[in-house]
Amino acid sequence: MIRFIDIYKSYDNGTKALKGISMRIDDGEFVFLVGPSGSGKSTIIKLITAEAAPTEGRLMVNGYNLNTIRPRQVPYMRRTMGVIFQDFRLIEKKSIYENLVFAMRAVGASPKEIRTRIAYVLELVGLSTKAERRPDELSGGEQQRVAIARALVNNPSVIIADEPTGNLDPQRSMEIMMLLEKINELGTTVLVVTHEKELVDRFAKRVVAIENGRIISDGVGGYYDNETF
Ligand SMILES: Nc1ncnc2c1ncn2[C@@H]1O[C@H](COP(=O)(O)OP(=O)(O)OP(=O)(O)O)[C@@H](O)[C@H]1O
Ligand SMILES: [Mg+2]
């Protein structure tokens, strides 16, 4: 579960990025986070991943209290989540398979766990036949699916994606969103930041809309029903 209680975030230069955010995301939910550029979406993600700390308010993530978490606990907290970045952040000189092995070795998985789990996630994202390729031998959509496989490989309870379809054409974007929906149906909580109105409209999911550091609506289809958009 992710819980924001009256969270404020100011950056060092004085920018007030979040101004009283309260929300709760339960295990198993699929949530879109939407809003204009600069509204605070990535800041919310950075607080959840503990890349940044709140200035005020209480924040709980998967049983960890991020107000009091010790630095040495942060890696354990991060293992409960899989993060998908817009620029993929794959290791270019390693094959897809080796990229996934690397992610699993980092958490001490056994060779047997590594073999079984990688076969499973590659099948799930539809890349079983491309395991030996390097990232630069794949299309943008395929690379994004590798990034999703890597986020999933350590079996996190939450998947967090900041603009996962930002560089993709509409057809590929749709495929990525359907893949995230499938992952959600298999039991993983999914939080997706997106600008893509068509995609949000196509999937009848919970939509948390942010504007100027505040939540302006929260509900199924709530964002684009709002007259101001
Ligand atoms: N490291 C930082 N230092 C100072 N200000 C920042 C920093 N990161 C973000 N901001 C500011 O905080 C506000 C919220 O930024 P944030 O990145 O959360 O927006 P966003 O909703 O993700 O926007 P986009 O859709 O463009 O990605 C903006 O005014 C931004 O300029
Ligand atoms: Mg952003």
**Closest ligand (CA of 195):** 1
The pLDDT value given to residue 19: 98
pTM, entire model: 0.92
Under DSSP, the state recorded for 96 is: H
Give yes or no for residue 37 CB within 6 A of ligand 1.
yes
**Closest ligand (CA of 85):** 2
Name the token pair of 98: 């080796």
Give yes or no for residue 224 CB within 6 A of ligand 1.
no
The pLDDT value given to residue 89: 85
* Residues 76-86 pLDDT 10s: 999 999 999 87
* Residues 35-79 pLDDT 10s: 999 999 999 999 999 999 999 999 999 999 999 999 999 999 999
Scanning 93-220, the segments in alpha helix (DSSP H) are 96-105, 111-124, 140-152, 170-185, 197-202
The pLDDT value given to residue 223: 55
Instruction: Tell me the average pLDDT across 177-185.
Output: 94
Look at residue 58 and give its three-state secondary structure: strand
Instruction: Tell me the average pLDDT across 208-227.
Output: 80
Under DSSP, the state recorded for 32 is: E
Give yes or no for residue 9 CB within 6 A of ligand 1.
no
Share of the chain above pLDDT 70, in %: 96
Cα distances from 49 to residues 13, 146, 222, in angstroms, run 21, 20, 26
Under DSSP, the state recorded for 64 is: E
127 or 171: which leads in pLDDT? 127
User: How does residue 184 score in pLDDT terms, banded at 50, 70 and 90?
Assistant: very high
How close is the Cα of 42 to the center of ligand 2, in Å?
4
Instruction: Tell me the average pLDDT across 85-108.
Output: 92
Q: How many CB atoms lie within 10 A of CB 120?
A: 14
Contact 96, 173 (CB under 8 A): no
The pLDDT value given to residue 222: 52
